[in-house]
Amino acid sequence: MKLLVSTALAAALPFAARAEVTVTEAWARASILASRPGAAYLSLKSDLDDRLIGVTTPVAREVTLHATETHTAGIGRMVQIEALDLLAEEAVTLTSGSMYLMLTGLSE
Ligand SMILES: [Cu+2]
């Protein structure tokens, strides 16, 4: 499944796969400059087991899924996630401090 995040990050379509995925609570942190990456957060729920393998949006050249790992020293580090498993009817929420969509090459 590939996810298309709209300009407002409010709707996601089309899903080529058979699964129906609902996106809620989508929001993006304002970026200071368009040259800096932005971060977007949302909640995903699929009606069938599925796997998120990519995200696109008209407002950024590239979207990657990142997770924040916090080490014992309290230092956060981000790691890229290639795919995110979605279990049927189980919401996965990308929230500040856990996972987020990193938007690179912002056009707006
Ligand atoms: Cu990141």
**Would you state the pLDDT for residue 32?**
75
How close is the Cα of 36 to the center of ligand 1, in Å?
11
How close is the Cα of 78 to the center of ligand 1, in Å?
5
Q: Which domains are delineated in the chain?
A: 2-106 (2.60.40.1890)
| Residues linked to residue 51 through DSSP beta bridges, in sequence order | 85
The pLDDT tens digits for 10-34 are 334 344 456 778 888 888 877 777 7
How close is the Cα of 52 to the center of ligand 1, in Å?
17
The tens-digit pLDDT sequence of the chain (108 residues) is: 566 664 434 334 344 456 778 888 888 877 777 788 889 999 999 888 888 888 888 888 889 999 988 877 888 788 999 889 889 999 999 998 889 999 998 886
**Would you state the pLDDT for residue 5?**
60
How close is the Cα of 47 to the center of ligand 1, in Å?
28
How close is the Cα of 50 to the center of ligand 1, in Å?
23
